[in-house]
C-alpha cells in the first residue's frame, strides 16, 4: 500500500479498501451520471455505493447557464460545491463511477480537481464494477460529512477554449487528439437543422478512449498505452489537447497521458458539442458518403 503515492492518477480497489480504513485524509466520491430518462445515478448511489463515499453531482457542479452540457463551473462554484461534500485542500480525493464500461465520468472529475489546483486526486481503476467483482463491500448507509473550506488555484495550462482551438488551426501550437470512436470522429455530414452528430475538428488525430481500457474496464498497462499513442501518431513530447463530444471522455486521454509521464495534457472543455455550433462550416470535417 505504501508504494502508491497520494497524487497517483490511478489507485486499485485493494489499495482503496485499505486506505478508507487507515488514511483519514481519503475522501471517496461517486461521479456516476446517466442521460436523463435512463438510469438514475443518485438513486443507485443511495442503494449501493462504496463505504464512506459521497455523491458528486456533475450537473450541479457545472456551468448551468451554458447552452453546452457539463461545462466547467467557476472557481468559486467548484470550491463551494466540493467543500459542501466534505473535501478540503488536505483531502486525497478518490473518484469512481458505476458505468458498465468500468470508468466513464470519473476521469472528468479527476481532471476538474487538477484544473482547480488540487493534485491529491486519483481515479479508482475499473470503478464500482471492478470493486464489486473483487468481492469488496458496498453499502446504502448515508455518509455523514462536515462541510470544509476549499481554495482553488486555477491551472490554466490544463484547459483550452474555443478561441484557442480555433487559433490552433493555423498556428498548430499543440496536437489535438479526439477521444471518440472512429465512426463518431469521421461522421457523415448531418442533415440541415440536425444537432451535433459525428464529425471532427480539422487536423485532429483520433484515439478512441475505449481502446485504452481492458475488457474489464480497467486502464491497460503503461506499455500498451504508449503503443496506442504512438500508433496514432501522437507525440508525447509535444503539447497536446484532448477533445471528444463534450469534454468527458477526453479526460480519459489526459489520465493515460499522465500515466505515461505527460502530466500537462489539456482538455478542450466545450469539445465537439461547442465546436459544431460555433465553428465555420469549413472548420468541420465529415466523411463523404
3-state secondary structure of 118: coil
User: Which residue shows C-alpha cell 449501493?
Assistant: 48
Q: Record the cell numbers describing residue 263, joined without a space.
A: 502530466
| Cα distance between residue 280 and residue 268, in whole Å | 17
The overall longest dimension of the chain from CA atoms, in Å, is: 58
User: Which residue shows C-alpha cell 472529475?
Assistant: 109
Select which of 61, 218, 244, 251 is catalytic.
244
Is residue 52 left, alpha or beta, with left meaning phi > 0 and alpha meaning psi from -120 to 50?
left
Q: Under a CB-based contact definition with an 8 Å cutoff, are residues 97 and 32 in contact?
A: yes
**Angle at which helices 106-115 and 250-259 cross, to 10°:** 70
Give, as one character, the DSSP assignment of residue 215: T
| Cα distance between residue 113 and residue 111, in whole Å | 5
| Cα distance between residue 101 and residue 162, in whole Å | 29
Which contiguous run of DSSP H or E holds residue 229? helix 222-231
**In the annotation, is 251 catalytic?**
no
What's the CA angle centered on 253, arms 101 and 173, to 5 degrees?
155
Residue numbers annotated as active site: 244
Amino acid at each position: 500500500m505504501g508504494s502508491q503515492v497520494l497524487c497517483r492518477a490511478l489507485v486499485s480497489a485493494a489499495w482503496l479498501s485499505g486506505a478508507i480504513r487507515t488514511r483519514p485524509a481519503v475522501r471517496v466520491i461517486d461521479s456516476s451520471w446517466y442521460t436523463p430518462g435512463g438510469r438514475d445515478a443518485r438513486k443507485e448511489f443511495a442503494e449501493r455505493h462504496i463505504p464512506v463515499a459521497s455523491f458528486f453531482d456533475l450537473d450541479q457542479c457545472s456551468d448551468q447557464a451554458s447552452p453546452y452540457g457539463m461545462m466547467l463551473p467557476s472557481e468559486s462554484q467548484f470550491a463551494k460545491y466540493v467543500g459542501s461534500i466534505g473535501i478540503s485542500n488536505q483531502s486525497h480525493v478518490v473518484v469512481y463511477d458505476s458505468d458498465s464500461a468500468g470508468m466513464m465520468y470519473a476521469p472528468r472529475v479527476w481532471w476538474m480537481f487538477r484544473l482547480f489546483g488540487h493534485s491529491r486526486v486519483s481515479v479508482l481503476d475499473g470503478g464500482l464494477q471492478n470493486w464489486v467483482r473483487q468481492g469488496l463491500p458496498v453499502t446504502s448507509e448515508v455518509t455523514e460529512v462536515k462541510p470544509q473550506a476549499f481554495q482553488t488555484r486555477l491551472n490554466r495550462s490544463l484547459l483550452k477554449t474555443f478561441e484557442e482551438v480555433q487559433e490552433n488551426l493555423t498556428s498548430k501550437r499543440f496536437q489535438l487528439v479526439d477521444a471518440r470512436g472512429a465512426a463518431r470522429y469521421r461522421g457523415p455530414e448531418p442533415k440541415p437543422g440536425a444537432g451535433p452528430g459525428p464529425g471532427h475538428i480539422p487536423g485532429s488525430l483520433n484515439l478512441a478512449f475505449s481502446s485504452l481500457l481492458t475488457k474489464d474496464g480497467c486502464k491497460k498497462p503503461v506499455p500498451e498505452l504508449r503503443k496506442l499513442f504512438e500508433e496514432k501518431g501522437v507525440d508525447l513530447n509535444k503539447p497536446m489537447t484532448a477533445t471528444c463530444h463534450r469534454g468527458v471522455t477526453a479526460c480519459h486521454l489526459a489520465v493515460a497521458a499522465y500515466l505515461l509521464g505527460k502530466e500537462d495534457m489539456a482538455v478542450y472543455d466545450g469539445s465537439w458539442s461547442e465546436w459544431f455550433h460555433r465553428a465555420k462550416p469549413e472548420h468541420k470535417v465529415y466523411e463523404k458518403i
